[in-house]
Structure formats: structure tokens, C-alpha cells
Structure 1
Amino acid sequence: MPSETDPADPEVPDLVDAGKLGTLPQTARGKRTRDALIAAARTVFERDGYVDSRLVDIAAEAKCSIGSFYTWFESKDEVLAAVLHEAQSDMLHPGTGRIEATDDPIAIIAASNRAYFEAFRRNAKLNVLLQQVAAVDPRFRDMRRARSEAFVARNSRAIRDLQERGLADRDVDPELAAMALSGMVARLAYDVFVIGGPETVEDVVATATRLWTNALGLTEPVLRAD
């Protein structure tokens, strides 16, 4: 079950190695230059793909010299890590914590699905980039897998909470359900916002929430437009 809990929770590993973010600036001018390079790198990575992107193009996009690039980053890997470090809290949903007895689980599912789909839509090109990097970098692939497993573990605990409260089907395996439903939401987001489709965010939120609640044996969701 997606949620709006804190993405910096220690249970959830970072998507990138915090020690591989390049040199941190000590002055306002240095920060502006480094920020410009990170923004430029995101533009180039999303436009050209990770494998085909070039450092000279990143420097040109940032309107600085290649020498300035090397002041802050040693490689394409480092500037990519900086891009993902800045974007990860927005582009990856943080999973869900325990659902307290006073919470409405259907409202949580609906709101959390909305947050996930809207974040995916904002960062659709960057999510495609994640797949490209995972295909060529085993270390990044392992970190991404660990983060995904942490989200699934959280979701399975939330499903188990619902079962213990008598609100969800007790015959559903919480771990497998978390894997299946999380995968369904991720694939739906990719098909709609990357491959392209006529559906709106409202459409996918309503459908994903109904599938979640039906799969867990919850009552029919009642969604309210923003």
C-alpha cells in the first residue's frame, strides 16, 4: 500500500550511496554552479539516456566549462547520484507504516495511490532512467532492489495489521499480496505515464484503489475529487 510517510525513515535504504555525491560546495557561488550542473545532468540524462549522455553536453547545458564540472564531480556516476539523491524523496513512494485502529484504510490507500501516481507522472522520464541504469550497473540494481524490498515489507506489515483488526481477508498471504499489489501499481503507472494512455490520474487512482481494496476484501472505496 503506497503511503505518505517519511521517505527518510531509517528502515528504507537510500537509492544512492551518500558518499558518492561529489564535492559539496562551501560558498553560495559554488552551490549555484553545482546546482546548475545537477539540473543540467537531469535534463541530459532524460533526453539522451544514461549510456549515451556525455559530460561535455552536461557542462554545455549548465553553461559552464568541463573544468567546472570536474571541480564538483569526478564522473558521470557521481553526477547521476546527485540527481537521484535530490529527486528520490519525490519520485519514489516510501511505503506505508502501521495503520492505527482509528485510521480509515480505504482513505489511506486512495490518498497514497494518488501521491504515488502524481509523483510518478512528474518524474516519468527519470523513472525510465532508473531502469536504464539498473540494467548496466549491478551496484545500483542492488540498491534499488533493497529499497523496493523495504517498501514491500512495510506494505505486508500494514496488510497484516488490517487482518488482525478483522478488516482484511485473513486467507490472503500478506507478503505475496504486498508484492503483487505493489507491482501492479508500479506497472500501471509505467504503462499510463511512460508508454502513454488516455487515462487521467483520477482514472488510475480509482482503479488501483478498487483493485487494492477488492483484493484485500475491504469495503468499496469512496473517492473524493481534490
Structure 2
Amino acid sequence: MENPLPSMPAATESFQPTTPKGQRTRAQLLAAGRRVFDRNGYVELKMGDVAMEAGVSMGALYRYFSNKDEMFLSLIGAIHEELFTASRAQGVDFGTQPYEALLNANRGYLEHYSTNRDVMRALVEATTVDERYRKMWWWMRERHIDRFVALLAKKHGITQVGGIDTRYTVEALASLTEQSAYCWFAQEPLNKAPIPLDVAAEVVTRAWYNAFFNSPEPGRS
């Protein structure tokens, strides 16, 4: 069962168009916002930059989003739900094929993180200057951890690792995966060379698998 944490903040007050044209306009504005967040980061982003990027007036932009936080919350909320879904093993039973399920889930997470690296990088920046985003990031992290702790207990009866509560190990591995994704993808230009997605997924999966099952992954020495 997940911890009873508050729901993640959402841009519930932003204008929600009902016509196809309005929905396309809102999507275009969010896409423009993503590009500006990518270039300028969270702190330096100005709504005027978004309007210029989207080719609309400030009045048109403010009709949909009253400020940059409302726009950013809309981006983060949608991406987190997609990330949470992408990091669930698809078509593989964790109970009978734990390595394959972990690999599937980690690849899904890393691929979605890579695709949304611009917003994820801006979120990390936002957590350092705004308490709301620090709480949001923590909520997102806890949601993933809660799910895996429950799955370990349900599918394998694992509640401790070496006599230590499983949650601590899951928290450490979640940090490893998240920070690896940030360094590999959100800060890709700083790397000596890009890491292939399949390699990235296998590296983190080995750490997860060996931590809980204490043996080499199937078919490997």
C-alpha cells in the first residue's frame, strides 16, 4: 500500500479548453514552454520568452497559464504519470521472471526520463529554489519506492535484506537510478560519450537484481 502522502500539486486552475483548436493551442504552448525550460532552466524562464517561442501574444498565453509555475506543474504532472506507468514491467511477471521484469521496468523509466530530460533537469533546479517542487519531487520518489517495496513483499516475501528493512535498500537503489538518469541524460553533454539506453538499463538492473536476489542474473557469470 502506498504511503498516504498528499496528492502531487497540479495546475487545476489553468484554463482547460474544450474545443479541438483550444486543446491544440494549449499543447503548442506547453511544447514551447518545454523548449524554453530546456534552454533557460526553471529560474531564468520568463513568460515573455514562452510567448515569443510559441509566436503568440502575452494575452493569449495568460489565457491558458497565469504564470510559469502553472505551466511547469502541467508539464511535470503529465510526465510523472507517464513515468510511473513506463516504469512498470510490461508483459513480464516479476514473481517468475524477476530479472526480466526489472530490466523491462528500468528501461521504461530510463527511456521516458531521456525523452523528457529537459523538464526533469528543470525540475531538479526548481527543487533547490522552491519548497513546493522539493515536496513534489519527494512525492514522486516515494510513490515509486512504495510500489516496489510492496511488490517485493507480495511476489517474493522479501521484507528485509541482510536483516535490514527492505525500504532502505529500495531507497538507495532508487537514488542510484534517478541520479544515473540525471547524469546520463539530463546532463548528457558533460559525458565523454552518450550511453546507449539498453546499456544504461542493464547497468542499473544488475544492481537491483543482485541487491535482492544475491546471485548473478540468469545466463551470466
Q: TM-score, normalised by structure 2?
A: 0.82
* Cα contact 2:87–2:109 (8 A) shared by 1: no
What is the aligned counterpart of 1:27 among 11, 15, 19? Answer: 19
Partner of 1:116: 109
Confirm whether residue 55 of structure 1 aligns to residue 47 of structure 2.
yes
Stretches of structure 1 lacking an aligned partner (at least 5 in a row): 1-8
* Cα contact 1:50–1:129 (8 A) shared by 2: yes
Residues 182-218 of structure 1, C-alpha deviations (whole Å, 9 max, x = no match): 1111112122223333332222222211111111124
Query: Where in structure 2 are the equivalents of 1:1-226 lying within 5 Å?
Result: 15-20=8-13, 22-91=14-83, 103-164=96-157, 171-196=163-188, 197=191, 198=193, 199-222=195-218
Counterpart of 2:74 in structure 1: which amino acid? A
Distance 1:54 1:214, change over 3 A: same
Q: Number of residue pairs matched?
A: 212
Distance 1:179 1:68, change over 3 A: same
Partner of 1:3: none
* Cα contact 2:75–2:119 (8 A) shared by 1: no
* Cα contact 1:169–1:217 (8 A) shared by 2: no
Distance 1:144 1:93, change over 3 A: farther
- Relative contact order higher in (CA < 8 Å, ≥ 6 apart): 1
Partner of 1:5: none
Q: Distance in 1 between matches of 2:152 and 2:45?
A: 42
Deviates more, 1:148-157 or 1:213-222: 213-222
* Cα contact 1:110–1:206 (8 A) shared by 2: yes
Q: Find the residue that maps to 2:187 and give its secondary structure.
A: helix
Distance 1:32 1:100, change over 3 A: closer
Residues 2-43 of structure 1, C-alpha deviations (whole Å, 9 max, x = no match): xxxxxxx998865432424x1111322222222221111111
Q: Distance in 1 between matches of 2:71 and 2:94?
A: 44
Stretches of structure 2 lacking an aligned partner (at least 5 in a row): none
Structure 1 residue 77: deviation in Å?
1.2
Distance 1:144 1:195, change over 3 A: closer
Q: Distance in 2 between matches of 1:11 and 1:221?
A: 34
State percent identity of aligned pairs.
Answer: 25
Q: CA RMSD in A?
A: 3.0
Q: Distance in 1 between matches of 2:155 and 2:35?
A: 42
Q: Distance in 2 between matches of 1:93 and 1:192?
A: 21
Q: Distance in 1 between matches of 2:62 and 2:8?
A: 23
